[in-house]
Chain A
Amino acid sequence: MDQKQFEKIVDNQTPKTPLFMNMLKAFLVGGIICTIGQLITFFYIRFFPFTEKTAGNPTVATLVFIAMILTGTGLYKKIAQIGGAGSAVPVTGFGNAVISASLEHKTEGYVLGVGGNMFKLAGSVIVFGVLSAFIVALIKTILVKMGVVSW
């Protein structure tokens, strides 16, 4: 049996990914997480001296804290099975990546285990997040200097 025939059999037998349903679920789950985040932002603006600009930081901290509890109790991976990208992209997904890696490596000690492996999955989010922020800022600075846009 040659490679082509084999590939054809594999294609025949592989169930198709329900792309539309997956996207719909991701949209709903991601949307719900973001709505909760928005409510938390309103809460900080209404009850604490935060403005729309400054309420972002405590909101992110709160969401990561919630993600931490959901990860520790094993609920986050159940949400992720339904949500897919919807639960991976928001900041709660970042929190889940950090916390799940920390939990996993606790047995190897706090320094080499937890500390060394905490950003095993989330590390690339930070690296490429910082890198893309730098590039975007650079472009904007140039545009401002050229007088195309203003800050």
Chain B
Amino acid sequence: MVIKSGTIQFKENPSIASTGVVVGPMEKKSTFAESFDVILPLENEKGQTYEQANTHFIEKACKESLRKGHEKLENVDVFIGGDLVNQLSPTNFAARQLAIPFLGVFSACASSVESVILGSLLLESGNATSVLAGASSHHPSVERQFRYPLEYGTQRAGTSQWTVTAAGFALLQKHAKNAPIITHATIGRVIDGGQKNPLFMGAAMAPAARDTIERHLANTNSRMADFDVIMTGDLGKIGLSILKEMFQDENSGVILQDAGAQFYGEDKFFKAGASGAGCSAAVFFSHVFNQLKSGVYKRVLLVATGALLSPLTFQQGETIPCIAHAIECRMEKRG
């Protein structure tokens, strides 16, 4: 049911039955490393191209999610996912292996939450009973597409972020007790803050995150303090500070968090933090999911942020339009 433009209330409260998160070797350094299901020792196995490796990560995350949810692949009605490589090849190729009905989505790093929103809508309308939704990113495949060759010697600026190698997928099912539920979603608007620097995504994406969070709070009649945490996807350390300053809410200091800013802790090598569609997917579907399931968090807002640029548009001097999609998850009291 639409409450107000863009904000949806899920009366049926679809639940996140289980999740699967598979990450690469660099992500072993993550502060969330203990929550990830599988940490693979190599970015790509011998004889595998980076793109094939990305596909492999997606398949593995989906299977992990099904294994944990005790569900068979043939019982899944729809598979929804996205990544950052041209034409979504890795996700398309993973869908070829999984061989279940498939919807590919792209909203850059916001694809993770966009998939979950679409999946929840299918469940809500009764057109599906089981949906696999999520997103992935793979450092080497994404870098070569958006930036420079991997071994090219360029100085990474303090504002730059590190694209994570991670795939995170969730098994969404009809309402169930003892599982986190999805109560609301807010579909993002494309917001352009006039930023042009592709190595400073935090500043470009912060206005989109602010717009979505603000609309969600207004449309659901809630305040920031009603949430245990409002977590954005990959604004990074600097982007998060910008977002906090934009809000000027006394609660924004504690409640507003960012998956990308926390991902690699204080390790200076990663500069402003992590980014990528896999960043939000990995953190939301591991750490946040676990915290919800164990009852530490009772109500959270997950806001995946995406910068909708391409190497072409930025070379043509265009600014970076951005989008942020949000889902509100809750954990009901046990018993």
Interface residue ranges of A1-57 to B (CB < 8 Å): 1, 3, 6-7, 9-10, 12-15, 17, 22
B-side contacts of A3, CB under 8 Å: 193-194
Q: How many residues on chain A are close to B (CB under 8 Å)? A: 34
A100 at interface, CB cutoff 8 A: yes
Question: Is B152 a contact of A77 with CB atoms below 8 Å?
Answer: yes
B224 at the interface (CB under 8 A from A): no
Is there a chain B Cβ closer than 8 Å to A87's Cβ? yes
Closest to A80 in B: B153
| Residues on A with beta carbons closer than 8 Å to the beta carbon of B150 | 77, 100, 103-104
Partner of A87, one of B153, B195, B241: B153
- Chain B 116-175 residues near chain A, CB threshold 8 A: 144, 148-159
Interface bracket on B: 20 to 34
Interface stretch, picked from A58-66, A91-99, A125-133, A137-145, is A91-99
Complex Cα–Cα for A3 and B193 (A): 7
Contacts of A97 in B (CB 8 A): 152
CB of B242 closer than 8 Å to a CB of A: yes
Neighbouring A residues of B159 by C-beta, 8 Å: 14-15
Tell me the dominant secondary structure on chain B's binding face. loop
Q: A14-B203, A15-B238 given as contacts; is B158 within 8 A of A121 (CB)?
A: no
What A residues does B193 contact at CB under 8 A?
Answer: 3, 6
A119 to B153, CA, bound (A): 15
Decide: B246 and A6 in contact? CB cutoff 8 A.
yes
- Across chains A and B, the number of contacting residue pairs, with CB separation under 8 Å, is 82
Name which residue of chain A comes closest to B156, CB basis. A81
Task: Let me know if A107 and B149 touch, CB within 8 A.
Answer: no
Per-residue contact bits, chain A 65-90, to B (CB 8 Å; 1 contact, 0 not): 00000011010110111011001100
Q: Given A14-B238, A15-B159, A101-B149, does the pair A77, B154 have CB atoms closer than 8 Å?
A: yes
Say yes or no: is B294 at the interface (Cβ < 8 Å to chain A): no
Residue of A nearest to B238 (CB): A13
A93 to B148 Cα, complex, angstroms: 14
Query: A17–B153 contact, CB under 8 A?
Result: no
Contact present for A1 and B157 (CB under 8 Å): no
- Given the complex, which residues of B lie within 8 Å of A83, measured CB to CB? 153, 155
Chain A residues contacting B195 (CB-CB under 8 Å) are 10
Contact partner, A107, options B49, B210, B238, Cβ 8 Å? B49
Check if B49 sits within 8 Å of A100, measured CB to CB.
no
Taken together as a complex, chains A and B put the C-alpha atoms of A1 and B210 apart, in Å, by: 10
0/1 string, B203-225, CB within 8 A of A gives 1: 10001001000000000000000
Tell me if B245 counts as interface (CB < 8 A to partner A): yes
**Contact: A15 with B158, CB < 8 Å?**
yes
Separation of A83 and B241 alpha carbons in the complex (Å): 29
Q: Do residues B203 and A10 form an inter-chain contact, with CB atoms below 8 A?
A: yes
Name B276-303 residues within 8 Å CB distance of A. none
The answer to the question of B106 belonging to the interface, with a C-beta cut-off of 8 Å to chain A, is no
Additional pairs, 19, CB under 8 Å, beyond known A93-B153, A96-B153, A104-B151: A1-B207, A6-B194, A6-B207, A9-B245, A12-B245, A13-B238, A14-B200, A22-B155, A76-B151, A77-B153, A80-B153, A80-B154, A83-B153, A100-B148, A100-B151, A100-B152, A100-B153, A101-B152, A121-B148
User: B residues within 8 Å of A by Cβ?
Assistant: 49-50, 144, 148-159, 193-195, 200, 203, 207, 210, 238, 241-242, 245-246
Binding site for B on A (CB under 8 A): 1, 3, 6-7, 9-10, 12-15, 17, 22, 71-72, 74, 76-77, 79-81, 83-84, 87-88, 93, 96-97, 99-101, 103-104, 107, 121
